[in-house]
Structure 1
């Protein structure tokens, strides 16, 4: 059996995508590491900083894996890192995805409770509780990613390329119709489960929470600034745009022999948006929450503090004021 030879002429799309991965890796490591440093060591420990620290940590895990994916693409889907790395890297990618999605969902729920149930939030919203929730999220994300350790493996295709892919039948027979049917059934089950737990339910929860927040803030006149509404709209749209193509690509994997061009298109799109989500989205939030002209006038610490805490702190203060007024009113009525 002849060994697979790396093509002398690299596909332009693969070259562009791999180049984007390597640039994202370099840029993302610097920016996200800076985020982690400021959130972990330079800012006061608070609930909001805990959420964002773990969210950016999930992004860092994904960014560290980009060079492996970039080499895989440059090699025209020829895997050179072995079976163990095939399992481990894809498990970590899934871990990053689930952790990121769940943390975004928890952040939206936290802000919803802060607006809709301020008294309850005042009594139960603690840094210890937030830390415990983050630990539970990581454990849950790891549990949902564990199937990759079992299903993911390497095998030789017709061109003698080593492919890193899911083997849902636990069989080395890639031709038998019954085995192929079993793979398709398990693939559908995995797709439905991942779509429900990793996209549909979180998207419904995030949309409900942020729309409710927007309605209540407008009705109660909790803020005169349009910045919180911009953040809300950006959060909903960016979540949908970044993750919907990935799940479409995952579902199309069932028909990889029938729609190769469509699959490659969604593969490129989902890969591009995943990089955007993990590397550039935090910066987008910063620029939405800050006036561009003021960015150069602030120190790094105050810049990060303002971006992460401005909107939430203004909500906190508004609710504290309203809560104090309602408490004094209740006491006055009872006297």
Structure 2
């Protein structure tokens, strides 16, 4: 084995180990968010989005950790392990698509609430968040089913069919969801910044959570999507492609693990950060009400439709 391959292998196993640790910590954090939003924090429409996003992140991290374990373990050559690996890859793709669409829906709905506050408060459908989440899960499941149907035949990919399926997914994910997320987040950032300067009031914690989550996703999870839908069809040197794959996996694992940290950091009070319960911090982070400087807010996730 050449020294170059030795260095590439060392980097691959090192980054894979970091990705595995990140996946385990991220699953623990998202599990905590799921449990708190299910039993400890009062549910609101926005909390429904966050709950579904935490489920998508947990599934993504679980499938990523399973794939990394199979790749670095001795059992991948077995046919059963190959089938499990292919199944985990499908689940990872499904969770990635669901997480992207949910984050796009979150930023878009917050943008509409800022641009059209009267309509948002008075004319918003009562169960809009639940319906949107269900529709996005169904869309992600349909896309994953089509990919499995066209691309997997007896666990061997058909290159011609996969090419056209991936091109459709490229147009949908990178051509529709991504621009909507970027546009709505940019508008939200401008309006929040403008209101902060004019009223000299800190921005709502909820807006900070959304903007931070979108920023982390764009910087950490987008490279994996670029690899899936673009670089797969570009002829790159094997060493370069391997390094990009492992780095994009680590960054995407970091992105799915970062949201619980964002919630708890944004929702904590500086005066007694180490003394508060997790449900208090989470409820405060998802509170959709203005917070004057120097005043503590109760840790309840209020109803956005009130």
Q: Fold match, TM over 0.5?
A: yes
CA distance in 2, matches of 1:61, 1:53: 13
CA distance in 2, matches of 1:77, 1:291: 48
**Cα distance, 1:71 vs structure 2:** 2.1
Provide closer, same or farther for how the CA distance between residues 149 and 55 of structure 1 changes in structure 2, counting only shifts above 3 A.
Answer: same
Selected match of 1:47 from 14, 33, 45: 45
**Cα distance, 1:292 vs structure 2:** 5.2
Structure 2 unaligned blocks of 5 or more: 1-7, 292-306
**Cα distance, 1:305 vs structure 2:** 0.7
Higher mean displacement: 136-145 or 286-295: 286-295
Provide TM-score, normalisation by structure 2: 0.79
In the alignment, what sits opposite 1:245? 223
CA contact (8 A) 1:87 1:148 kept: no
Root-mean-square deviation (CA), in Å?
A: 3.0
Selected match of 1:66 from 43, 49, 64: 64
1:95 aligned to 2:94?
Answer: yes
**Cα distance, 1:98 vs structure 2:** 0.8
In the alignment, what sits opposite 2:250? 272
Q: 3-state SS of the aligned residue for 2:26?
A: helix
Mapping for residues 20-39 of structure 1, pairs under 5 Å: 20-39=18-37
Deviations, residues 115-151 of structure 1 (Å, cap 9, x unaligned): 1111211124355221111111100000111134232
CA distance in 2, matches of 1:53, 1:232: 14
Moved runs in structure 1, 4+ residues, more than 6 A?
A: none
Deviations, residues 184-236 of structure 1 (Å, cap 9, x unaligned): xx454334323332234222112221222233344454662157675565344
CA contact (8 A) 2:30 2:58 kept: yes
CA contact (8 A) 1:112 1:213 kept: yes
Structure 1 unaligned blocks of 5 or more: 1-9, 156-165, 170-182, 316-335
CA distance in 2, matches of 1:56, 1:267: 24
Selected match of 1:168 from 133, 158, 171: 158
In the alignment, what sits opposite 2:3? none
Selected match of 2:276 from 292, 298, 319: 298
Work out which of the two has the higher radius of gyration on C-alpha atoms and give 1 or 2. 1
CA distance in 1, matches of 2:281, 2:11: 37
In the alignment, what sits opposite 1:259? 237
Deviations, residues 91-134 of structure 1 (Å, cap 9, x unaligned): 21111011100110110111011111112111243552211111
